[in-house]
Chains A and B, each alone.
Chain A
Amino acid sequence: MIAALRTPRGLVTVLVLVVLAVLPLLTQAFDQRYLLSIGTKIVIWSIAAVSLNMILGYGGMVSFGHAVFFGIGGYAVGILSAHGVSSGWIQWPVALLAATLWAALVGALSLRTRGLYFIMITLAFAQLVYYVGGGLEAYGADDGLNISRSRFPGVIDLRNKASFYWLCFVLLCGTLWFCSRFANSRFGYVIRGAKSNDLRMTALGFPVFRYRLAAFTISGAFGGLAGILLANEGAYISPAMMSWVKSGDLIVIVVLGGMGTLFGPLYGTIAFFVLEESLPPLLDLGRKGWGEYWQIVFGPMLVLIALYARGGIDSLFGRRR
C-alpha cells in the first residue's frame, strides 16, 4: 500500500479506493443522499465492468450481451421475491447459478464463432432474454416489477443505504481481487495468450475453446452478481436493465477505462457516471434544454479516447510496469 503511493497510478488507485470506501460517511457529512445512490450504482456497474473485462479485455472476446447478466441476476431475485421467497440465502445462490448456467450455454454456442459473428450471437441471446422478460406479464412485462429487497436476517439489512453500499463495495473489492489473481494465473496466461494468437496457443497444445468457455462462464457469474445487487439497489426489476444499450454502455466503460487493466473498468465506470450526471446540467447552463443532448458531447469524447488514448483512462497514469 505504501509502495503503491510512489507511482501516479498507485496514488490514483489508492485515492479512488479510499474515497469509495468512506463514501457513505462523506455523503452523510455533506448531506448528499443522492450521491450515495449514484455511488452505489457506480460500484455495482464496476463489478459488471470488471467481469466483462475478464473476457473482453484479457480474452479479446467482444461480448455484446453482457447486460443480460444484470437481467438474469435481477429477475432471479425478483421472481423469487414475488413468490414470497425473500431470503437472500436462497435468492442469491439461485440467481448466481442461473447466471452461470446461462453463461455456460451461451458460451458453448457462441464461442465456436469469431469476430463479428460472436458479437452478433451474444447480442442475439441477450435480446432473446430481453424479450422474454418483456413478455412476462406476471412480473410486470415491459413496466417491470417493484420487489422487496433480499433479507439476511441478523446479518445485514439491505434497506439501510450505507450498509448496502458497503456490501457492494466489499463485493467489488472481492471481484477485483479475483481478477488480479486470475490475470496472472496459469488460466489467465492461457486466456491472454489466446487473445494474442489463438492459432499459436492451439499449436502449443491448449484446447483453447474450453478455457474460453470457462472464462465466459466465470465472467457471467460475476455479471449475475452485479444483477442481484442492481435489483436490490432499486428494489425494482425491468427488462430495461438488460437492454442492448446497457450492454453497449458496459463495452464503452471497459474501453474508456482501459481494456485488460485491473482498475480500468472501475475508472471507466466512474467517468461514465460522472459525465452522465454532470454533462446535462453543465450544458443546461449554456442554454436551457441543451442538457438533453449531452451525448453529442459525450460521443466525441469517446472518439478522442479511442483515437488518442488507446489504453483508456488507465494509460493516462503512465506506463504499466
Chain B
Amino acid sequence: MTAPLLSTDRLVKRYGGLVATDNVSIDVVPGEIHALIGPNGAGKTTLVGQLTGNVTPDSGTIRFAGHDVTRLKTHARVALGLARSFQITSVLREFTALENVALAVQAHAGHSFRFLRDARSDESLRGPARTLLEEVGLGSRADAPAAALSHGEQRQLEIAMALAGDPQLLLLDEPMAGMGAEESQRMIGFLRALKGRRAMLLIEHDMDAVFQLADRITVLVYGRAIASGPPAEIRANPDVRQAYLGEETA
C-alpha cells in the first residue's frame, strides 16, 4: 500500500467534559476518495477544523505530505497542498466568479506584496482562473458577482477555488449540502471525473453520493471512529447499521 498522504494518529479534542474527537486515527492515500460519515454531533466538523488548522488538538498528531502539520497554521498547510471547501458556502460575495478563482490562483503564486500592477489585467492569474471555471462548468458565469450565483453554482465555484494551486488533497465539507437532486448528481459526476487525480476526504450526509464515490468510508460516532473500510463492508457492519444507517432505514 502506498504511503498515506494525510494521516492522523490518536487525535483528541475535548470541549470541557465533551470529547469531540476521541482517539481518531484515519488516513487518506493518494488518489482515493475517503468518505467520513456520521450522525449530527459526531464530531465531523471538529475533526475537519483540526485538519485545516482552525482547531488545535489536545493530543495526537496530524501528518500531511510527509510533514508533521499538527501545529502548522492554515496558510502553511494550504501551501503544502491541502485545499478545502466549506460546509456553509463560503465565497467572496462582492467579487465576480472569475475574481474569486483568480484570488485562489494568486494564493499559490508567491507573495502578494505587489502594490502597483493592476491584477485585473494579469493573465497569469486570470488565465488559469478561466480554465478552472470552465472545468467546473461555470465558464459562462465568469463575470457574474458571486452573490448572484445560484446555490449550486456557488458550490461549483468553491470547488474551482479549491482546485487552484493544484492541491494534493481536497477536503470537501458537505459539497452536496443544500443541493437539489439534479445538481447533486452533476456534482457527483464532476467529483468522479476528478477521482484518481487527486485524493479527497469527503464529509457528506448524502449516502447516495458517499456510496457512489467513496473507496473507503470511516464512520464517526460520538467522536470515535467506530468502523472504517470499503463501502460494502461498512454497509454490512452491524454497529454502523445500528448507530447510523439503521436510523435512516428504520
Interface residues of A (CB under 8 A from B): 178, 181-182, 184-190, 192-193, 196-197, 199-208, 211, 214
Q: B65-103 interface mask toward A, CB cutoff 8 Å, 1 = contact, 0 = none? A: 000000001110011000110100011111100010011
A189 touches B106 (CB 8 A): yes
State whether A181 and B116 are in contact (beta carbons under 8 Å apart), knowing that A203-B52, A205-B107, A207-B75 are contacts in the complex.
yes
The answer for the CA separation of A181 and B120 in the assembled complex, in Å, is: 11
B114 touches A185 (CB 8 A): yes
- Expressed in whole angstroms, the minimum distance between the Cβ of B108 and any Cβ of chain A is 7
Point out which of A178, A187, A201, A205 has the most chain B C-beta atoms below 10 A from its C-beta: A205
B94 touches A204 (CB 8 A): no
8 A-B pairs with CB atoms under 8 Å apart are A186-B112, A192-B95, A196-B93, A200-B92, A202-B75, A203-B84, A204-B78, A205-B79
Q: Which residue of B lies closest to A202 (CB)?
A: B74
Q: Which residue of A lies closest to B84 (CB)?
A: A203
**Which residues of chain B have C-beta atoms less than 8 A from A184's C-beta?**
118-120
The answer for the CA separation of A196 and B79 in the assembled complex, in Å, is: 22
* Residue B161 CB within 8 A of the other chain: yes
**Which residues of chain B have C-beta atoms less than 8 A from A204's C-beta?**
78, 103-104, 107, 161, 164
The answer for the CA separation of A184 and B114 in the assembled complex, in Å, is: 10
Where chain B touches its partner, the secondary structure class is loop
- Expressed in whole angstroms, the minimum distance between the Cβ of A51 and any Cβ of chain B is 14
Q: How many residues on B have C-beta within 8 angstroms of the other chain's C-beta atoms?
A: 36
Point out which of A192, A197, A211 has the most chain B C-beta atoms below 10 A from its C-beta: A197
B119 touches A197 (CB 8 A): no
Interface residues of B (CB under 8 A from A): 52, 73-75, 78-79, 83-84, 86, 90-95, 99, 102-104, 106-108, 112-120, 122, 125, 161, 164-165
Cβ contact of A193, chosen from B74, B75, B86, B92, cutoff 8 A: B92
Where chain A touches its partner, the secondary structure class is helix
Q: Which residue of A lies closest to B73 (CB)?
A: A207
Q: Which residue of B lies closest to A205 (CB)?
A: B78
The answer for the CA separation of A202 and B106 in the assembled complex, in Å, is: 13
- Expressed in whole angstroms, the minimum distance between the Cβ of B47 and any Cβ of chain A is 16
The answer for the CA separation of A182 and B114 in the assembled complex, in Å, is: 8
The answer for the CA separation of A178 and B116 in the assembled complex, in Å, is: 7
**Which residues of chain B have C-beta atoms less than 8 A from A193's C-beta?**
92, 95, 103
A196 touches B94 (CB 8 A): yes
The answer for the CA separation of A204 and B84 in the assembled complex, in Å, is: 8
Point out which of B108, B119, B120 has the most chain A C-beta atoms below 10 A from its C-beta: B119
State whether A203 and B116 are in contact (beta carbons under 8 Å apart), knowing that A189-B99, A196-B95 are contacts in the complex.
no
Cβ contact of A185, chosen from B79, B103, B117, B165, cutoff 8 A: B117
Point out which of A178, A193, A204 has the most chain B C-beta atoms below 10 A from its C-beta: A204
The answer for the CA separation of A63 and B65 in the assembled complex, in Å, is: 40
**Which residues of chain A have C-beta atoms less than 8 A from B161's C-beta?**
204
Cβ contact of B115, chosen from A182, A192, A200, A208, cutoff 8 A: A182
Extra inter-chain contacts (13) besides given A205-B108, A206-B112, CB under 8 Å? A186-B114, A186-B125, A187-B114, A189-B119, A200-B91, A203-B83, A204-B107, A204-B164, A205-B78, A206-B75, A206-B107, A207-B73, A207-B75
The answer for the CA separation of A190 and B115 in the assembled complex, in Å, is: 11
- Expressed in whole angstroms, the minimum distance between the Cβ of A237 and any Cβ of chain B is 31
**Which residues of chain A have C-beta atoms less than 8 A from B108's C-beta?**
205
**Which residues of chain B have C-beta atoms less than 8 A from A185's C-beta?**
114-119
B75 touches A197 (CB 8 A): no
Point out which of B78, B79, B92, B93 has the most chain A C-beta atoms below 10 A from its C-beta: B92
A203 touches B79 (CB 8 A): no
A197 touches B92 (CB 8 A): yes
The answer for the CA separation of A202 and B79 in the assembled complex, in Å, is: 11
State whether A186 and B119 are in contact (beta carbons under 8 Å apart), knowing that A203-B84, A205-B107 are contacts in the complex.
yes
A188 touches B119 (CB 8 A): yes
A197 touches B93 (CB 8 A): yes
The answer for the CA separation of A199 and B104 in the assembled complex, in Å, is: 13
Cβ contact of B90, chosen from A178, A189, A200, cutoff 8 A: A200
- Expressed in whole angstroms, the minimum distance between the Cβ of A54 and any Cβ of chain B is 11
B118 touches A181 (CB 8 A): yes
- Expressed in whole angstroms, the minimum distance between the Cβ of B64 and any Cβ of chain A is 14
B75 touches A196 (CB 8 A): no
